[in-house]
A and B are shown apart, each in its own frame.
Chain A
Amino acid sequence: MTSSDSTRIPEPPERLPDVAPSPAGTDPALDPGITDPILSVRGLSLHYGTKQALHDISLDIPRNRITAFIGPSGCGKSTFLRCFNRLNDLLDDVRISGEILFDGQSVFSPDIEINALRKRIGMVFQKSNPFPKSVYENVAYGPRVHGVRSKRVLDEIVERSLRAAALWDEVKDRLGDSALSLSGGQQQRLCIARAIAVEPEVVLLDEPCSALDPLATARIEELMKDLKESYTLVIVTHSMQQASRVADYTAFLYLGRLFEYGLSEQVFIKPRKKETEDYITGRFG
């Protein structure tokens, strides 16, 4: 616990020393017993300069399931998410230790091609970020940079991705319009379509509904349940209702540490840790 951490969140938890350094498998509160994980995190710590943002996190992400990271603002859940596709590489001054295994291979390995990794682990951002291009070009952008040239194939990919993102019927007649002319919810679904157009295995969603109204949120949650048939989804949210509605597994992060990880019903109905209970019952956060 460094002093800079305590300036961010005033109240340090009481039982900190017990839970912090435990590897997955030793504490039942941190190990839901996942077999055949697609992503395995082992002892991950992250520093911004001298400030430590993530402390020794270990967990497994199950294949074709929705896993949610919840926790109060500043707990490091977005930072954690951006480790999977190494988007933190863009920032100066970031040091990462520990390991993330993607299908058994380390994502931090120097042998790994970062662009190929990001093709396999797609991402949807908190603020919808369509490119200032047409709807069609937005979806076709990913396949294009990965070498698809044929107009026919691109047409197919665009239609399939937009259908998968439940957007096709709304935009099929205006594929040439600017993506920025769509509504906020449509833009976010377009970003999902764009992410799945490159056929990733994992889609990371960083608070995808925080800027949307309840109706648009409901549509995206519906969509996520459909998508888990084909993809592994990892979602960061600070809406506990959302996590309980869509996620199969939920991890609770607080002050850069993993406090509890398990099946969503268990985490929300019978939390094993006092901090988790305090958070989900709204006592802080």
Chain B
Amino acid sequence: MTKRTGNTGSGAVLTWLCGGALALNLVLVAGLMAVLLVHGAGYFWQKPLVQVETRDGSVHLGEPAGDEPVPGPDGSIATSTGRRIRLKVGNRDVTGRDFVWIDESDIVRRERPVDAWQLERLEWGNFYGFLHAIRRGDEVVAAGREQVGGILPRMIEQKERERREAERLERGPIADVNWALERLRIERRGLERRLETDPAVAGRLAALERERERLEREFSVLAGQLHAMRRTLDRELLVVETADGIRHEFPVSHVVRAIPVNRLGLAGRVGLYASRIGEFLTAEPRESNTEGGIFPAIFGTVMMVFIMTFAVTPFGVVAAVYLREYAGQGWLTRTIRIAVNNLAGVPSIVFGVFGLGFFVYLVGGTIDQLFFSDALPTPTFGTGGILWGALTLALLTVPVVIVATEEGLAAVPRVVREGSLALGATRFETTWRVVVPAAAPGILTGMILAMARAAGEVAPLMIVGMVKLAPALPVDGHFPFVHLERKFMHLGFHIYDVGFQSPNVEATKPLVFATALLLIAVVTAMNVVAIVIRSHLRRKYAGSAV
């Protein structure tokens, strides 16, 4: 009895140790998620605007953005004498800075002015202040805080419609004409090269020239339309006043959103919150990624991961099937297996360099020589693009798929293989029609791990096609609709860019959290889909007796 107690005693210690390690892991993960959630999701919540008057007579209006103890004379917190608050005051085009620190002890008056507005703009970030007038040329359309506040929201909506119309023109007909002109230019260059040997192409060249002139004319008409639209768009000027009385003006069309913050009720704030999250998810970035949404980055990440999955899964599965089902299990196979496993440990940047050399320069360069020679020296596939990024990551993750697939194959019982062979099926039929389908859950596990790894990988992509700001999505309305040679944006790189390469790091810090949260959400969503498919497969084949 004593002996038994002793045994359970030491067992309990070990259990506690293991449980403790697990608990620590869980706490770390939960803490990480909590930090991301609080900072990332909190970014979209509108705080009230505070106007502060200090002892030296200056007035600041802005959104509170945290507080901290004032460092003492020796610069340490320990000798601190009070606290100071940080205010996001915006108005970068007026004051040149986004944030101010104000010592609590200097504050003589603090209020929440009801007619203070927050204007989110296309340029220069937020404006915090008071409305003064709206002018159209020399004509004053509205004057005074009340009147301007009354018509401003409607006017912004109107301008938003006008801007969208201009954008439609720009991305629709104008882009189409540009596209056609570019194709024409490439075709003409090719024909010109052939002209020396084949005079018959002269007629075609003349036709191209006529077509080009027609397109140019069309283009100038469209450009004129666009120009007129832009003039109308920027006709109304908004005159505003900062908290310390400086007058300032900019076109109404630059304002994306105007919010009388301190008049908002809870419902208004919730609505604002939702609309900001919507913008974040669906809009394109502006102001060098510090404002607007991150849709192109979400799109690029998801599309790149999908292409990678379609490349890596068949490749990895076929390799694993050969290793497990066909290859003799001798020292060579063992060596290859070890090599494949070690491949997973190679630093990812090395894969990036390999991708650049092999995919971009060698494969892409060859494709350009063979199929896009008319466009040279402008590279088509011979430069980084979403396809090369996806294939580089496919190489990076292929060991994961091979290992998981091999495990899945090994778990298929021998009697099942023999059952198929005993029916007169060949080894090939047995492998592909019985063994591989039975290993499908294992294969999907490999796929899930590969997707998770690929979605978070940034370093190799920086060399093979990822950019800070892609001019166009890899999918659009121009034939062939999917443009695998295009450069793309990626959430991982976006985090790095916004967090560390931005001109206004302090203002974009919350954006880093929000983007990180979104990256995790995207990876989780893709994994959940794969896991659901896998558990569906498992359920389908569950209940194996004995």
Q: Which A residues lie at the B interface, using CB under 8 A?
A: 85, 87, 90, 115-119, 122-123, 125, 127-133, 141-142, 145-146, 178, 180-184, 187, 191, 194-195, 198, 211
Contacts and interface: CB of A to CB of B under 8 A. Distances in A.
A125 B416 CA distance: 10
A145 B421 contact: no
Contact of B546 (A118, A181, A184): A184
10 contacts: A128-B545, A129-B416, A129-B418, A129-B419, A132-B437, A133-B434, A142-B424, A145-B426, A178-B541, A198-B424
B55 interface: no
Q: Which of A87, A133, A191 has the most CB of B within 10 A?
A: A133
B424 A145 contact: yes
A230 B394 CA distance: 55
B22 interface: no
A142 B542 CA distance: 22
Given A131-B438, A146-B424, A184 B419 contact: no
A116 B426 CA distance: 10
A122 B423 CA distance: 6
Given A131-B434, A142-B423, A145-B423, A90 B418 contact: yes
A98 B433 CA distance: 35
A181 B247 CA distance: 78
Given A122-B422, A125-B419, A191-B419, A145 B433 contact: yes
A181 B540 CA distance: 9
A212 to B, nearest CB: 10
Interface string B403-433: 0000000000101101111111110010001
A9 to B, nearest CB: 25
Given A118-B424, A180-B542, A194-B423, 5 more contacts: A87-B421, A117-B424, A118-B421, A128-B546, A133-B437
B440 to A, nearest CB: 9
B435 to A, nearest CB: 9
B162 to A, nearest CB: 58
Interface string B527-546: 00000000000001111111
Contacts of A142: 423-425
Nearest to A187: B545
Nearest to B328: A92
Q: Which of A131, A183, A191, A211 has the most CB of B within 10 A?
A: A131
Given A125-B418, A132-B437, A181 B542 contact: yes
B426 to A, nearest CB: 6
A117 B424 CA distance: 7
Contacts of A130: 419
B433 A141 contact: yes
B416 A131 contact: yes
A87 B429 CA distance: 16
Contacts of A146: 424
Contacts of A182: 545
B541 to A, nearest CB: 4
Contacts of B433: 141, 145
Given A125-B419, A129-B419, A180-B541, A115 B546 contact: no
Contacts of A133: 434, 437
Nearest 8 Cβ contacts at the A-B interface: A119-B424, A132-B541, A123-B422, A129-B415, A118-B424, A142-B423, A129-B419, A145-B425
Contacts of B424: 115-119, 142, 145-146, 198
A90 B325 CA distance: 12
Contacts of B416: 129, 131-132
Given A180-B545, A211-B546, A85 B422 contact: yes
Contact of B415 (A85, A118, A127, A183): A127
A228 to B, nearest CB: 20
